[in-house]
């Protein structure tokens, strides 16, 4: 596994921590756990072969990583009861998008949203 792939996976675990601390300080541990739990969105990788390909851009490829579903994630951030779940899913998509942009360039990553 490449260093970039390891870094990407580590960011999925590490980034939610500071986000939880900054925006949900009084309940940051609970918030971090919820944000981490949203990483289960990657279960849609089980529908592909190989399950994990560090050179594949998840955005636009996996069913739970498509623009219509990402729009639902954004909507979830607007509702108080689902805000943390939506935020975790949006963070996940942003991290995956940034990985695509690093791999293939920003324009190609944007084209995958269609």
More confident residue, 101 or 80: 80
Query: Which secondary structure element, helix H or strand E, spans residue 24, and what is its range?
Result: none
The number of domains in the chain is 1
pLDDT value, residue 26? 95
List the one residue out of 65, 53, 60 whose CA is nearest residue 112: 60
Whole-number Å distance between alpha carbons of 19 and 88: 9
pLDDT value, residue 9? 86
Tell me the pLDDT tens digit for each residue of 6-51.
888 899 999 999 999 999 999 999 999 999 999 999 999 999 888 8
What are the residues whose beta carbons fall under 8 Å from the beta carbon of 106, sequence distance 6 or more?
none
Whole-number Å distance between alpha carbons of 27 and 24: 6
Show the domain range for 107.
Answer: 3-111
pLDDT value, residue 84? 96
Tell me the pLDDT tens digit for each residue of 71-89.
999 999 999 999 999 999 9
pLDDT value, residue 78? 97
pTM: 0.88
pLDDT value, residue 109? 62
Q: What are the helix (H) ranges across 54-82?
A: 67-76
């Amino acid at each position: 596994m490449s260093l970039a792939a390891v870094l990407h996976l580590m960011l999925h675990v590490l980034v939610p921590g500071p986000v939880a601390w900054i925006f949900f300080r009084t309940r940051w541990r609970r918030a971090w756990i919820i944000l981490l739990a949203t990483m289960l969105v990657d279960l849609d990788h089980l529908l592909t072969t190989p399950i994990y390909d560090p050179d594949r851009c998840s955005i636009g490829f996996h069913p739970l990583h498509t623009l219509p579903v990402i729009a639902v994630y954004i909507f979830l951030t607007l509702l108080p009861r689902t805000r943390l779940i939506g935020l975790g899913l949006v963070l996940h998509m942003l991290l995956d998008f940034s990985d695509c942009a690093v791999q293939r360039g920003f324009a190609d990553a944007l084209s995958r949203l269609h």
